[in-house]
Structure 1
Amino acid sequence: MDLDEYDRQLVGFADALDVREGNWEGYLPGLFGASQDAEDCVTLRQAMLTDQDRERCRPYLEIGFFPAPDKDRRLAWWAFAFEVCDRYQNRALERSCALYNRCQPLFVGAPKLFDHIRKRQTNGQPDLELIDSGAVLAINDSEIYVVGPGYGKLAQQLDAQIPVWARKEFPQAPLFLRLDPSRHFKTQPLQALFEASIVPADPRWMKTLALFPEMTAYAQYELLGDLEQEGMEAYRDYALRHVRRLEIRATRTDPDYLSMILEELPRPDESNGLMIGRCIHLDTRAPWGTPIRDAVLQHLDLAINVYRDGDRALRMSNTLQHGKSQSATYRTHLLRIEAVPFTALFGFAEMFFKSNSLLKEWLAEVLPSEPQEPEPVPVG
């Protein structure tokens, strides 16, 4: 077997894993001793084992899967399994981010749902990314939605609790969601287990939107992985959540128009070749000097920017400070809400971004604590 054949086999195993909804534990261990194609792949992978592979795979030997008598053979099985999972996740993400079309499983299974795709305000054409939340119904506030005939799922990158919170906080606001177009189920699938999100606090004191026309404000916050200097929370964001940077850019192009973009970037060296930036974009017609508490957003979007291979390093080497940065390899919107208070931004940011420490650092600057009245001094 050569590398080209190995790559073709990875695609085949990844597609088989996709049929099983990514349940690798129920699929890949069963290939051991039962699939000659898999054994051939592992033989090639064993010949290419590196010290980095061994370090990554060694902790998994304790699980007991792939019980080959030779340790390197077991390590090679794990390296092969990781690459199948990476290939599956990459292909599933790309399908999930594809523009909507009637040939996708979601719309083949629920054809009338296509009529509820959000229409662009500029030309009335479907944006092919988001669906009117009024056309679907969440099951138990989960990621599973009734879509007419059958069921669909939220895009994986959108926490199910975000639209739940948005509907409760802003019941009259137009709300649009991203459902995974590659998934449709005739019967209700199992719900994923998830931790309940903490409802974000409502900020009490705000600055004004004091950017002059043609003026831009930019902020950048980075994690360096220094436990002593940055503290445990920042270290967890760095080491466990793999967050590296948060960028914020606000621009006022007219006296009564301000837009903002925020992007949280993870580590650029994941083994699957992807870097998924979490992005918030918003705009408002609130004039210069309007207190944030009084400003209303025209819209707020949650989106992901997917940078692949070389695009990852290019994105990390530049910033949003001077405008457009490195373009994403592909991207999609996950949620859009319209006509909500500007302060909704802070709630969505707390729930959507992964980093606690970088977000707190930014919020501490834009939402300083309300000055406290001095306590009266007792007389006598």
Structure 2
Amino acid sequence: MNIEEYYIFLEWLSSQKIKIGESLFHNFENLLHEGNAAAIESINFRAQFIGEYEENIAASYFIIGHFTNYDKPKRIACICVGLEAEYVKDIICLRRKCELYSENQPLFKANPSLFQHVRDRELVDYSVFKRINDSEIIHFNNQYGYIDGYVPLTVLGWMSNNRPQSPIYIRVNPHVVYSTQPPQKLFESQLIPPNPKWWHELSIYNRSHEGCSFFLDKSVNPKDNYDEYWEYHCQNIRRLDIIAKRDGNGNLSMMMEELIEQKNIVSPTERYIVSRMIHLDTDAAIGKSFHDSTLNHLDLAINVYTENNAENRLLENLANGRKVTDASFRTHLLRVENINFSDLFAFAYSFFKSKTLVDEWKDAQFR
């Protein structure tokens, strides 16, 4: 087996269906037990590239109890293969999540009329669904589905209570549909200084921009700031980039992007970035208070940057006002129209994972 064949095997392994209550490790272990030639070749190949770093990572997984029929070197190789397949699986799942809607997907095959309510093949008109118990479960035409897991459910409730007349479009999972109600799931420092004055009166002039960026401190002591430590080291959040621009016609647009870095645990130079993005625009005039300004639209989206795109995106910054690397793939999650500019805070706190960064941004803009 060579490196290309190894990665082909990882993709194949990561795409195999996993039984309820089991994991990818179970699948891999079963393949080895059955004498699958490619599975056996993969551990022999991976065993050639095991160093102290991989040994330390794999040893922490021994307690789980997988691959106990192998000696220590082969067991370490098995765990490394499993972890790398999990990394590949995460990217495949994200790519699938970002697929454009199609009438051939299970949700729309079961409900052909639902496709009439699709917007730009990414979102569905929220008004056609009944949401069950304020959860992620939706009901339509005597069938059930799920709202996409990246959509902040709290903001849907907030919109219903505070902006019931505003149009809403949401991302729903197109790959599953149920005839009976499914189970409800369980929920789960500054680089570029901002200009705090423009915000109050939207004082960005035509063909100009204001940007700022905030980052989490990798070396923060958890005793000093546990939340920041947790967000950086456990949630892998890196920073929040913000840019606001007014074009020649006076339209003011704004983008906020929170960057989350995911590394291949046994090959940490390999990584991908999942970013959460808010984009909005308004025709509110220069000098108008944001409290009295109406947004034409506000979008939530995820951007996924893989391979070189991930490296480049970490080096670039929206706040500089220049174009950054395009996402490898992306999708919109939610769109609302005709809401107040000040409603942005409800979306930012619901959607972004780092409360530390959102707090810093808010405090900097209004200090």
The TM-score, its normalising length taken from structure 2, stands at 0.86
Partner in structure 1 of residue 331 of structure 2: 332
Partner in structure 2 of residue 292 of structure 1: 290
Equivalent of 2:215, from 222, 225, 243? 222
Partner in structure 1 of residue 196 of structure 2: none
Partner in structure 1 of residue 231 of structure 2: 237
**8 Å Cα contact 2:155-2:346 kept in structure 1:** no
Structure 2: runs of 5+ lacking an equivalent: 189-198
Give the C-alpha shift of residue 238 in structure 1.
1.3
Q: Distance in 2 between matches of 1:365 and 1:111?
A: 48
- DSSP 3-state at the match of 1:74: helix
Per-residue CA deviations over 1:110-166 (Å, capped at 9, x if unaligned) read 222111112xxxxxxxx1111000122223222232243533222232233332333
Give the C-alpha shift of residue 359 in structure 1.
1.2
**8 Å Cα contact 1:278-1:305 kept in structure 2:** yes
Q: Distance in 1 between matches of 2:24 and 2:185?
A: 16
Q: Percent identity?
A: 32
**8 Å Cα contact 1:142-1:161 kept in structure 2:** no
Give the C-alpha shift of residue 20 in structure 1.
5.9
Matched, 1:355 2:348: no
Matches within 5 A, 1:83-122: 83-118=84-119
Give the C-alpha shift of residue 302 in structure 1.
0.4
**8 Å Cα contact 2:84-2:264 kept in structure 1:** no
Partner in structure 2 of residue 310 of structure 1: 308
- DSSP 3-state at the match of 2:67: coil
Matched, 1:264 2:264: no
Q: 1:249 to 1:344 in 2, by over 3 A?
A: same
- DSSP 3-state at the match of 1:212: coil
Structure 1: runs of 5+ lacking an equivalent: 119-126, 196-205, 369-380
Q: 1:336 to 1:111 in 2, by over 3 A?
A: same
Give the C-alpha shift of residue 39 in structure 1.
3.5
- DSSP 3-state at the match of 2:275: strand
- DSSP 3-state at the match of 2:279: strand
Matched, 1:275 2:273: yes
Partner in structure 2 of residue 345 of structure 1: 344
Give the C-alpha shift of residue 351 in structure 1.
1.3
Partner in structure 1 of residue 9 of structure 2: 9
Q: Distance in 1 between matches of 2:225 and 2:352?
A: 19
Matches within 5 A, 1:118-157: 118=119, 127-148=120-141, 150-157=143-150
Give the C-alpha shift of residue 34 in structure 1.
3.6
The TM-score, its normalising length taken from structure 1, stands at 0.83
Give the C-alpha shift of residue 30 in structure 1.
4.3
Q: Distance in 1 between matches of 2:332 and 2:200?
A: 29
Give the C-alpha shift of residue 103 in structure 1.
1.7
Give the C-alpha shift of residue 28 in structure 1.
4.5
Aligned pairs, how many?
350
Per-residue CA deviations over 1:78-104 (Å, capped at 9, x if unaligned) read 222222222222112111101111122
Aligned residue identity for 1:104: Q
Kindly report the root-mean-square deviation, in angstroms, between the aligned alpha carbons of the 2 structures: 2.6
Q: Distance in 1 between matches of 2:21 and 2:169?
A: 25
Q: Distance in 2 between matches of 1:242 and 1:251?
A: 29
Partner in structure 2 of residue 54 of structure 1: 55
**8 Å Cα contact 1:223-1:245 kept in structure 2:** yes
Q: Distance in 1 between matches of 2:179 and 2:54?
A: 41
Partner in structure 2 of residue 252 of structure 1: 246
Give the C-alpha shift of residue 301 in structure 1.
0.4
